[in-house]
Amino acid sequence: ELLPLDESGKERQHVSLGFLPDGRHFLYQAFNSSPTDPPEILVASIDGKERKPLFKNPSDVQYIAPGYLLFARDTTLMAQPFDASSLQFTGEPVAVVENVGQFSVSDNGTLVYKPRSAVDRQLTWFDRDGKEISKVGPPGRYSDVVLSLDGKRAATQRTVDGNSDIWVIDLERGLPTRFTFNAAVEDDPAWSSDGSQIIFTSSREGDISKIYRKIASGAGNEELISDAVRVVSAGIDWSPDGKNILYASLGEKTGNDIWVLPLGGDAKPYPLLQSEFSELRGHFSPDGRFFAYVSNESGRSEVYVQSFPPAGGKWQISNGGGSQPHWRRDGKELYYIAPDRKLMVVGVKPGETFVYGTATPLFQTEVISFNAPNRYDVTADGQRFLINSPVETTKEAPFNVILNWTSTLKK
């Protein structure tokens, strides 16, 4: 192995970003176990003797002669002077062009990029063959989408004017109604089994998110469920009997772990899965006997199922990568997203023991991220899927070309 993961146990993946001119050093991204922590950009030598952190940034980074690192900061393409010999920055980052999604730069100074729209998602119904049925509500900056059990409403995370809140959409009328009003980031909605309440996470008390509860009609105040909970925003779930909440929390030495928050009485939260690997995105089966989750114990994200509470049985559901598990309401199917963003289905035989079939693809989705929580949900009968999709899937935005991109730098 050329470059092993950091000994701290917090790194989960390395992605190479290309060599520097000397052919001995290369840039790479190190992804943290926490999905809320942006990846770190580092430079290392092929002999493994050097490893130098540069900065944290979620975009690709490209070295360009005569000595710049190019990267995106939000939607702005930045160029920062970089000495490839000393491996040092020699100046502050400078804006090159605004509103950038993807980009690439050639050695002769030609910059190609695709503009990025700030409003680029649309909640859309699809059937099992991937045929679009209808659009839901206005386009916007949606993330999570979670159906109520009666299928009449969807709770979503939606960003409007830079503020992330939970919104509830009446699916018959397509009308979104704002559900939370705090200036902090609200995320990870989940419904109670009777549809009367919604739980969600909020960072209103600082960088650490906690779980709140509110009546689904929007009336009344929000209730902090437990001050002892520290949540990684990676999806939370409420058990069918209403007694437990699954959530992910980042351990000091164990990466992301799945915890249980018992509701009622004086019970305290406790770890359900706690290992050297990252476990997150826990979802209860409809009968509450099992839970699906995502772990990187194989070296990549895969979907697993265990009994609840764990009693020795453990089954790997995906093969070749998987994330975002969801159950059909009768427990007869389990769905997940593959790395190529195909929606996969696995037949399940409900009962006291877990019996399942082979994963097969249903159709190609355009979810914005494979390894993010709740970018789709499924109706009770498994016949329709509400998917966070691009506004337009048939008309691609054109690429823009800038010759001699360094001429755009402000001196």
Q: Comparing 51 with 374, which gets the higher pLDDT?
A: 374
CB 269 within 8 A of CB 229: yes
Strand partners, 45: 25
Residues 115-142 have pLDDT tens digits of 765 557 999 999 999 999 999 999 998 9
Q: Whose CA is closest to 200, among 227, 174, 151, 167?
A: 167
**pLDDT(34) > 70:** no
Half-sphere exposure of residue 298: CA atoms within 13 angstroms, side-chain side: 15
Residues 229-261 have pLDDT tens digits of 888 777 899 999 999 999 998 877 677 899 999
Number of Cβ within 10 Å of residue 388's Cβ equals: 24
CB 228 within 8 A of CB 270: no
Token match 């360094």: residue?
A: 406
- Residue 397 pLDDT: 63
- Residue 411 pLDDT: 46
- Residue 6 pLDDT: 61
* CA–CA dist 325, 348 (Å, integer): 13
Instruction: Output the six-digit token pair for 64.
Output: 């360009």
**Residue 148 φ/ψ region, left for φ over 0, alpha for ψ in the -120 to 50 degree band, beta for the rest:** beta
CB 171 within 8 A of CB 150: no
- Residue 394 pLDDT: 47
**Residue 75 φ/ψ region, left for φ over 0, alpha for ψ in the -120 to 50 degree band, beta for the rest:** alpha
**Residue 149 φ/ψ region, left for φ over 0, alpha for ψ in the -120 to 50 degree band, beta for the rest:** alpha
Residues 293-346 have pLDDT tens digits of 999 888 889 999 999 998 878 999 999 899 999 999 999 999 999 999 999 999
Q: Whose CA is closest to 362, among 326, 316, 395?
A: 326
Q: Whose CA is closest to 189, among 237, 260, 259?
A: 237
Tell me what the pLDDT averaged over the chain comes to: 87
* CA–CA dist 80, 155 (Å, integer): 41
**pLDDT(221) > 60:** yes
Phi and psi (nearest 5°) for 16?
-75, 140
Residues 259-293 have pLDDT tens digits of 999 998 788 999 999 988 889 999 999 999 999 99
Q: Which amino acid, one-letter code, is at 51?
A: R
Going by pLDDT thresholds of 50, 70 and 90, the confidence category of residue 13 is low
- Residue 37 pLDDT: 59
